[in-house]
Amino acid sequence: MIEISVVVPVYNESANLPQNLLRMAKALAATGKEFEIIPVDDGSVDDTAEIIRRLAAEDFRFRYAGYRQNAGRGKAIRTGIKAAQGKYILTIDCDLSYSEEYLPLMYQLLTENQDIDFVIGSPYMAHGKTENVPFKRLAISKLGNIILSAAMRGKIKTLTGVLRGYKASAVKRLDLESDGKEIHLEILSKAIASGYKPLEFPAILQSRKRGKSKFKFKATAISHLIFSFFERPALLFGMIGMLLIGLGLGIGIYLITLWQGGALNPDRPLMTLMILLLVAGLQIILFGFLGTQMVALRKEIYKIQRNQHSLEDMLENRPVPSEEQPRVLALHRTPPTEPSNRERLNDRMKMTDEKTIAHNK
């Protein structure tokens, strides 16, 4: 039985194939466990798919998965998770910006910590670091993770990394939908909301050595900001609402100053603007509270879905009695009830009548 499945999303990675996949296999072989590596071709336009198919034909430890049209990392990871047969599912980039040595480490962390459901490699936590990553990309990544961490209430420092390990029993129960890089955020949000427990460990993120980076700032930034809004709406609504209320109070103080100095002009619309700002700010804050309640309801739905999946697994694994085994049906008989006083009186009268008739004869 396969113990470890490694999902590797690839797109135009012919420069890194097949040597990086072989490095992963060498690192996993040290565990002594049966494993599979599933490179998922995300509609590459170079010869990536051909290289993977050729490698899979030569080595049974590799399995090809993919599709023709480029859809994004999210779909690639979802495809790989669905195809994985292992008890533990690990994800890593094909360019090995995270070393392949983290694969056996993640497996070890998952097996040694039975109460942990998934692990996350983090270059932004204590003892984690980055090496030779371009400054612009690093600054954007750090700022984005700070905002996302605030949306997740600071539990995890690196939310966007691909270096992760999951128990298959946990990640396969999540109803995933994302096609882009926001897949990492979706998995994290739904897993934590469902009650699965994460473990973050320090990792080193290195710059890509071969091939071209697929990072798209605009699309990634927009998707991550939208995620922050949906994950913690009070953060955005609260900031906007407090800003409007602050402006309204500032105008109010200015009007009081003018009134005390005798320079207040009643024809100026500042009073109306102040009231509008205060009311609008208060309403936006209330929208934030409403959004928070909706998020809490959504998380409760995730917990219900997890319990439903657990119940389905219990029903599927329940032993079914063999058809050849005779079944004994217990026949339950109702114990006789004591006769009532009326029934006893009727029986005595019947006996008396029978004796009288016999005597007359």
| Domain range list for the chain | 4-231, 233-307
Residues in the chain with pLDDT < 50? 324-334, 359-361
Q: How far apart are CA 188 and CA 185, in angstroms?
A: 5
Q: Please tell me the predicted confidence (pLDDT) of residue 149.
A: 84
Token pair 């040595």: residue: 101
pLDDT confidence of residue 148: 84
Looking at residue 217, what is its pLDDT?
64
Question: In this predicted structure, what is the pLDDT of residue 58?
Answer: 94
Look up the CATH number of domain 4-231: 3.90.550.10
* pLDDT given at position 130: 93
- Distant-in-sequence contacts of 251-256, Cβ < 8 A, 24+ apart: 251/277, 252/278
Per-residue confidence (pLDDT) for residue 319, from 0 to 100: 67
Write down the pTM of the prediction: 0.76
Q: What is the pLDDT of residue 325?
A: 46
Alpha carbon distance 6, 162 (integer Å)? 12
pLDDT for res 309? 74
Task: Give me 21's structure tokens.
Answer: 């996949």
